[in-house]
Structure 1
Amino acid sequence: MVRIGLVGCGRISKNHFTAIRKLQDVKIVGCCDIIGERAKEAAKTYNIPYWTTNYEDLLKREDIDLISICTPSGLHPEHGIMAANHGKHVLTEKPMAVRLADADKLIKACDQNNVLLFVVLQNRLNPSIQMVKKAIDSGRFGKLFMIVANVFWSRPQEYYDLAEWRGTWDLDGGAFCNQASHYVDLVQWFGGPVASVMAQTDTLARKIEAEDTGSAIIKFHSGCIATINVSMLTYPRNLEGSITIIGEKGTARVGGIAANEILHWEFSDTVDADAIVNEFSTHPDSVYGFGHDAYYQSVIHSVIKEEKPLIDGDAGRKSLELIESIYVSSRKQKVVIL
């Protein structure tokens, strides 16, 4: 039995609570939030026996094996390090930090305390994304030429006004770090090691510190070029979240609300799975998709078997390094070499 404590009972926590309840060999022992009513309501809704507003009290419980961190992004390293120092395995929502240096401190703390570190990049586990990755790794695309990711979503001012930390550099970051971080991760996961990046970002309409719009051009060591175009100003609602991969022997496009649908699939060769490619599309009702379910299954397996996480701190660090480089490039108006 894997026993979980969760900190941060806000918006994303619902996906965690729901995913955990579907699994065997796991239970939520306690939850924590600085807003007492929110922690109390979560405990009532999900039948959690213990709730608190004091994170240290949660960490002191000996009947907790793993801490799930759903607090604002800038607090992920601090809360993860505290959990590791109490001997708890650490699961952190994306991004694992808003600064690469803080992510490195979290990785080091988990290594020193001999606990596992999991970073929630659940879109990697979408059946459609798995199909693309398998095709890349098996050579079906041949040489990759271009990857294009578009994240054209709508986040009105009311969204940012829901909490003071949203859109701030210290706790949230902007459109690349928060909303588009999954797409940044998938682009670098598909393309391989990044050589350089150049970017333009700006805050065009929302009253926030960080950016609401931007574009990045990425050069991979393989020679492949990628672009990531992001805007939270799409009128009047979310329009597109897609990734297109162009190679010498194949072209594919994944879209849908959560990178969950295969929209184009064409290769010079044919395999049996091509005939049923549409069966690998899913139909979630939000941009979070169904990935948390599969992700928690992999987490529980790793904890029980004491095996390396499927998506660990090093994986989370790679996408964060690219995000940080995008911001540095835009701020300094120069190409950043990774």
Structure 2
Amino acid sequence: MNISILGTGFMGKKHKAVLEQIPNIQINAEIDSHAESHSKTHFHSLEHFLEEKLHTDLVVVATPNHLHFQHAKTLLENGYNVLIEKPFVFNMEQASALREAAHQNNSHVFLVMQNRFSPVTLLLSEIVDSKKLGKIYNIQLNAFWNRGEQYYIKDSWKGKKNMDGGILYTQFSHLLDLLCYVFKDDFTVLFKDLTSFRNFNISEIEDTALLVLQGKTGTKVSVNFTTSVFEKNQETSLNIIAEKGTLKISGQYFNEITFQHIADCPDKFEITSTSNEQNLKEMYLEIFKSLRGEKNNAILLKDGLDLVDLLEKIYS
């Protein structure tokens, strides 16, 4: 199977490293304006790549955030299947445009949401889907991270309001996706405060988001995300307070159950530890099954619309 990578920066390199671990996968093109050479496999622009009309089964879109939508749309209009890094779009209008382009050209849109394949997400999904917790009263989602001058490099697109999108589109989109994917609720925004405490001199976007959400089921959600922590990440944690139990997941890698008391459940759940790269590999294996027409759990554009809708509500 032939794969092309559009954008060979930090994320493009990460995708390449994972793809090189998968048998029978060939990276037949790398597309980037900073490409060291121009050859049959290296292209300085998307236009040059399209002119060559290479046969490729999937193009990975790993360019800067603000380019994801237009690059994906152009590729779809030229008949290519695409896999889009986060954030795949900034609003529902862009999502609709991609859906229409895919439909018109018989192409597929896949999304990079590899954390859906993590043991934490799989465990939470099983607990919630099986109704072991009963009615969920309250969810608290915290992430206290550090992003500073080493991240918001001068003259980079990162931290630029119209190019970056904001911390909920970048650093914390996986956690909001976990909220949408696991709990399958339609959340409205009761309160929001987007503030910059530490990074206002180096970034145009917020470094702290405080949110209160409510689901149609009545579940209340409090969200406290920040990238203003001093020097290094502090924690990521999730608390669930429900009719039939209480659960807290935390730890440096968000893979430790630090409190558990659930009716008719084992005294302790075990969460195996996997790396981001392992989750990415699992994501790719499901995409390749989809492209071969086999039964699969690939994440399609429609699977990310709840997240897009929530982000648009928050930032509107």
Same topology, TM > 0.5: yes
Change in CA separation of 1:103 and 1:73 when aligned onto 2, cut-off 3 Å: farther
- Asked if 2 retains the 8 angstrom alpha-carbon contact of 1:122 and 1:292, the reply is yes
* C-alpha distance in structure 2 between counterparts of 1:101 and 1:257, whole Å: 36
* C-alpha distance in structure 1 between counterparts of 2:246 and 2:215, whole Å: 18
Amino acid in the other structure paired with 2:284? Y
* C-alpha distance in structure 1 between counterparts of 2:293 and 2:250, whole Å: 34
What does residue 2 of structure 2 align with?
A: 3
Q: Secondary structure at the match of 2:103?
A: helix
* C-alpha distance in structure 2 between counterparts of 1:64 and 1:35, whole Å: 22
What does residue 307 of structure 2 align with?
A: 319
Q: Which runs of 5+ in 1 are unaligned?
A: 329-338
Give the stretch that moved more between structures: 303-312 or 180-189.
303-312
* C-alpha distance in structure 1 between counterparts of 2:258 and 2:220, whole Å: 21
* C-alpha distance in structure 1 between counterparts of 2:274 and 2:259, whole Å: 16
* C-alpha distance in structure 2 between counterparts of 1:95 and 1:243, whole Å: 22
Change in CA separation of 1:308 and 1:270 when aligned onto 2, cut-off 3 Å: closer
* C-alpha distance in structure 2 between counterparts of 1:307 and 1:110, whole Å: 20
Residue 214 of structure 1, aligned match among 199, 209, 212: 209
Q: Post-superposition shift, 1:242? A: 2.1
- Asked if 2 retains the 8 angstrom alpha-carbon contact of 1:261 and 1:281, the reply is no
* C-alpha distance in structure 1 between counterparts of 2:99 and 2:64, whole Å: 18
What does residue 126 of structure 1 align with?
A: 118
Amino acid in the other structure paired with 1:205? R
Change in CA separation of 1:29 and 1:256 when aligned onto 2, cut-off 3 Å: farther
Change in CA separation of 1:18 and 1:264 when aligned onto 2, cut-off 3 Å: farther
Amino acid in the other structure paired with 2:74? M
Cα deviation digits, residues 40-71 of structure 1 (max 9, x gap): 5xx9xxxx961111112323433211100111
What does residue 112 of structure 1 align with?
A: 104
Q: Post-superposition shift, 1:161? A: 1.4
Cα deviation digits, residues 253-273 of structure 1 (max 9, x gap): 2334443343333310125xx
Q: Post-superposition shift, 1:309? A: 5.7
- Asked if 2 retains the 8 angstrom alpha-carbon contact of 1:242 and 1:256, the reply is yes
* C-alpha distance in structure 1 between counterparts of 2:60 and 2:251, whole Å: 28
Change in CA separation of 1:36 and 1:233 when aligned onto 2, cut-off 3 Å: same
Give the stretch that moved more between structures: 225-234 or 57-66.
57-66
Query: What is the TM-score normalised by the length of structure 1?
Result: 0.85
Change in CA separation of 1:71 and 1:123 when aligned onto 2, cut-off 3 Å: same
Q: Which runs of 5+ in 2 are unaligned?
A: none
What does residue 17 of structure 1 align with?
A: 16
Give the stretch that moved more between structures: 72-81 or 98-107.
98-107
> 2:169 aligned with 1:169, yes or no?
no
Residue 297 of structure 1, aligned match among 263, 281, 285: 285
Amino acid in the other structure paired with 2:231? P
Amino acid in the other structure paired with 2:130? S
User: Which of the two has greater helix per residue?
Assistant: 1
> 2:216 aligned with 1:224, yes or no?
no
Change in CA separation of 1:163 and 1:20 when aligned onto 2, cut-off 3 Å: farther
Change in CA separation of 1:144 and 1:83 when aligned onto 2, cut-off 3 Å: same
* C-alpha distance in structure 2 between counterparts of 1:4 and 1:140, whole Å: 42
- Asked if 1 retains the 8 angstrom alpha-carbon contact of 2:166 and 2:205, the reply is yes
Query: What is the TM-score normalised by the length of structure 2?
Result: 0.91
> 2:194 aligned with 1:201, yes or no?
yes
- Asked if 1 retains the 8 angstrom alpha-carbon contact of 2:18 and 2:277, the reply is no
Give the stretch that moved more between structures: 87-96 or 106-115.
106-115
Cα deviation digits, residues 100-154 of structure 1 (max 9, x gap): 3222212221122111111111111101210111110011111111111111110
Residue 248 of structure 1, aligned match among 219, 231, 243: 243
Give the stretch that moved more between structures: 183-192 or 69-78.
183-192
Runs of 4+ in 1 over 4 A off after TM superposition: 306-309
- Asked if 2 retains the 8 angstrom alpha-carbon contact of 1:175 and 1:212, the reply is yes
Residue 46 of structure 2, aligned match among 46, 51, 55: 55
- Asked if 1 retains the 8 angstrom alpha-carbon contact of 2:72 and 2:82, the reply is yes
Q: Secondary structure at the match of 2:313?
A: helix
What does residue 263 of structure 1 align with?
A: 258
- Asked if 2 retains the 8 angstrom alpha-carbon contact of 1:66 and 1:91, the reply is yes
Q: How does 1:25-44 map to 2 (within 5 A)?
A: 25-37=24-36
Q: Secondary structure at the match of 2:2?
A: strand
